[in-house]
Amino acid sequence: MKRDLLTVFDLSSDEIGSLLKRSIDLKSGIDAGKCPLIGKSIGLFFEKPSTRTRVSFEVGVYQLGAQPIYMSAKDLQLGRGETIADTARTLSRYVHGMAMRVFKQTTVEEFARHATIPVINGLSDLHHPCQALADLMTVLERKGRLEGIRIAFIGDGNNVANSLIEAAALTGMDFVIASPDGYGPNVSITDHARKIGKGRITATNDLKEAVSGADVLYTDVWVSMGQESEAEEKAARFSSYQINAELMKLAKPDAIVLHCLPAIRGKEITDEVMDGPQSAIFDQAENRMHTEKAVLEFLVR
């Protein structure tokens, strides 16, 4: 039976552990030259432009021995009115898996319902499971464990925050998000994660409360793609929600800093922190490729 990765909750705690172990092995080069997906093709459907998601998937697919096939909305008959369902049924006859970077979660869900191949959510408005797996890998590399690690997420309760909330619930991390009133994480996702009970999930608008004793400080852009009309309002509301040297002093002395990129330097994070010794941001970016390779191995058989 085919499996999809549409949200982090499509995985179990044990499966996350196995995927992270495999990701670390892949990064080490232990299987360099092996091509477990040789002869297969992976479709890459993108409604949004991308740097990390596109390149990490294309290179990762190639390194696994498969053929990546990039498709934008204008490259397919979707632009002329063909349904998502018909597109999914058709592409399932050509490729062995699909990674999708889309505006709406409902798009990737509908595609997965009608596809007979594994579907991977490379980003939607509600979830970013591939990013969360890379984040977990980076924390595991730097801290040696996940359970009990305190992550302070500073900023918008967006798709990345939602996926990290699910990841915390499954791995036993302590996740706290600090956002202005009205910009917290998705309530239904947060409530569901809290019911699992393995990780502690907290939402606040108090920066000091969030960062105090944190092992990891994490931020993202204040305005996601598709939200440009909100840019001015968000800039005003989020102006104090910045990771800077003063905020770092409230975290543990060995805290690391993460950002899923792209960063608007001088807004949500300062150059001093982003380029400083506690930054793991570019290791985190690299780890997108390794975790995606592990997911592709796991799903595409």
**pLDDT tens, 29-70?**
998 889 999 999 999 999 999 999 999 999 999 999 999 999
- In angstroms, the first-to-last Cα distance of the chain is 11
The single residue of 22, 52, 96, 101 carrying the catalytic annotation is 101
**1 inside domain:** no
154: amino acid identity, one letter:
I
**98 plus 216 within the same structural domain:** no
**95 plus 146 within the same structural domain:** no
**91 plus 178 within the same structural domain:** no
The single residue of 22, 128, 142, 259 carrying the catalytic annotation is 128
Whether pLDDT at 22 is above 90:
yes
**137 inside domain:** yes
**225 plus 120 within the same structural domain:** no
- Predicted local confidence at residue 18, as pLDDT: 98
The single residue of 52, 135, 142, 260 carrying the catalytic annotation is 260
**105 plus 210 within the same structural domain:** no
**109 plus 157 within the same structural domain:** no
**3 inside domain:** no
The pTM of this model reads 0.97
The single residue of 131, 142, 284, 290 carrying the catalytic annotation is 131
**30 plus 109 within the same structural domain:** yes
Whether pLDDT at 227 is above 90:
no
Whether pLDDT at 107 is above 80:
yes
**123 plus 175 within the same structural domain:** no
**200 inside domain:** yes
**123 plus 251 within the same structural domain:** no
The CATH number given to whatever domain includes residue 160 is: 3.40.50.1370
- Mean pLDDT across the stretch 242-257? 98
| Chain segment 116-135, per-residue pLDDT in tens | 999 999 999 999 999 999 99
Residue 176: band (very low, low, confident or very high) from pLDDT cuts 50, 70, 90: very high
What's the number of domains the chain is made of? 2
Is residue 220 annotated as part of the catalytic site, yes or no? yes
Any residues with CB less than 8 A from the CB of 182 and at least 6 apart, and which? none
Q: What percent of the chain is modeled with pLDDT above 70?
A: 99
The single residue of 220, 242, 259, 284 carrying the catalytic annotation is 220
Is residue 131 annotated as part of the catalytic site, yes or no? yes
**95 plus 162 within the same structural domain:** no
**116 inside domain:** yes
Is residue 128 annotated as part of the catalytic site, yes or no? yes
**163 plus 100 within the same structural domain:** no
Domain that holds residue 84: 8-128+288-299
Is residue 288 annotated as part of the catalytic site, yes or no? yes
The single residue of 22, 96, 288, 290 carrying the catalytic annotation is 288
Is residue 283 annotated as part of the catalytic site, yes or no? no
